Amino acid sequence: MKKGSFKVCSKAGDQNCVCCRTLDNSVALGNTGDIFVPVSVAGGLFVLKTLVAVAFAGLTVVMPASAADITHLLKRINLKPGFKISVFAEMPKPRQMKFSGPKGIVFIGSRLGNVYSAVDRDGDGFAEEVKLRASGLNGANGVAIQDGKLYIGQQEKIVRWAKPAESDTSLSLAPLITINTQLNSNPWHGWRTIHFGPDRKLYVAVGAPCNICELEANTGKIVRMNADGSGWEVVADGVRNSVGFDWNPITGQLWFTDNGADGMGDDTPPDELNRVTKPGQNFGFPYLGGKSDKLTGYENQTPPVKVTPPEIEFGAHTANLGMDFYTGTMFPAEYKNDAFVAQHGSWNRTVPAGYRIMRIKFDDAGNAIGKEVFADGWLDDSTGKAFGRPVDIEELPDGSILVSDDFANVIYRISYEK
C-alpha cells in the first residue's frame, strides 16, 4: 500500500489487505459502539484504514478518513524539541504490539479478534505492508514472541502459531496450537496482555471480572507459565486490571500498571505503577486503590495479607495501559532506562483526563523518582473531545518507539533527531 492510500479488497478476510468483518459477524467496538459492516464499492470492500464513523441505514459504518484528518491529528501532538511523530501503520483497533527480527515484522493484536502484521521494508519509518493474518479470535489483544514463535493471548486461552513468526507474511496464522486454558472466560477486563520475561517464562495479566469484587484463583493477577503452558504461578495478586508491564533493565524487576476502580468519584482511587520484588506479592485489590484509598464495600475491612503499595500514583481514571522501559540510543541519554506509559484516557470522568504518554524517571539504582508528560494533544482540554487514545508502546531496534491508538486506528512512530 502507498502512503495515504487505501485499496479495495476482493472479499472479506483477504489476506493481502485489512478488511472489515462481514455483517453477520460484525463486532461492537468498546469505545463508541461502532459496528464494522461491509461497504460495497466497485464490487469489493473498502479496506478499513484510518477510520471515522458515518451514519448508514440506521447503523454506524466505519469509513476511511482523509489524509487531512491524519495530518490534523499529528499536528495536535505536543513533543519536546527534537522529537517527531509520524504514522507507522493504519488498521482497525490496534492494541498490543511485538517486533520480530530479523525481517522486521511487527505483530499487532486488536479488539476485533484479529491479528495483523506490519513491515517497514525500506526503513523509512512507514510500514508499506499491513496484512490481516488471523481473524475470528476471541479478544486477540496480546502478542509475544520467543525463539521465533508467535504467541497470542485470547480471552480464555493462550495459543501459539505452529509456524515460525518470521515465515512469509502472506501466510495466515493457522494452525494455532492451544497451550493453556486456565484463564478466566469472563469478558470484563478480559483483554490479555502477554510478555516473555528474562526468565523465559510467559507472563499474562488476568484482570478482575468486575469493577470491585472478590478474586478467584485466575482473576486479578499477573501469572507466569512455561512456554508450553505448564507451570502456572502467581507473580502478583490483588491486581484489578493491568494492561501493561515490563522489566527494569537495571534491576530485572517486573513493573506493571494497574487501573483503579470506577464509581467512587472523579478523583479517587488513583491508577498505579507497581513493582514486584518477589513472586506472590499482593497489591491491595479489592480492599485498596492506590496507597490508601479504601474501595466501596471494603471501607471497614482490613486486607487479610500484607499489601505492597504502588511506587507511583497516576490521576484517577487516566487508564494507564502499556508501558516500556527505554533501552535505545536514539533518544537523548537522559531517557535511558526510564519508562514510558500510555494513558488511554478516562471514559466516565466529569472532566476527561489522560489521553497522553507519560515518562517515568528512574535513578541509577532502578528506583522511580518522578513522572512527567512526554506527549499529549490527543485530548482537546477546552472541549473534552478526544482525537486518539494511546494503548501500547513498543521500542524498535533503531531506538524509535511505536504507539498504538485504538481510537484513531493508527500506530504512530516517535523518533528523535538532534
CATH for 164: 2.120.10.30
Q: Extract the C-alpha cell encoding 99.
A: 517486533
Give mean pLDDT, residues 14-41.
Answer: 32
Whether residue 134 sits in one domain with residue 58: no
Residue 22 has pLDDT above 90, yes or no: no
* pLDDT bracket for residue 65 (50, 70, 90): low
* Total number of domains in the chain: 2
Whether residue 100 sits in one domain with residue 60: no
pLDDT at 66: 60
Whether residue 168 sits in one domain with residue 28: no
Whether residue 48 sits in one domain with residue 86: no
Domain boundary pick from 34, 65, 96: 65
The pTM of the full predicted model, rounded to 2 decimals, is 0.86
- Give strand ranges (E) for 239-355: 245-247, 254-258, 271-276, 281-282, 288-289, 293-294, 312-314, 320-325, 339-343
Whether residue 236 sits in one domain with residue 283: yes
Give the Å distances, CA to CA, from 390 to 1, 33, 225, 375, 405.
Answer: 24, 18, 28, 10, 5
Whether residue 235 sits in one domain with residue 142: yes
Whether residue 72 sits in one domain with residue 49: no
* pLDDT bracket for residue 68 (50, 70, 90): confident
Residue 17 has pLDDT above 50, yes or no: no
More confident of the two residues 333 and 51 = 333
Distance CA 377, CA 414 (A): 14
pLDDT at 418: 86
Q: Which domain holds residue 43?
A: 1-65
Whether residue 115 sits in one domain with residue 42: no
Whether residue 18 sits in one domain with residue 81: no
Whether residue 3 sits in one domain with residue 92: no
Whether residue 89 sits in one domain with residue 30: no
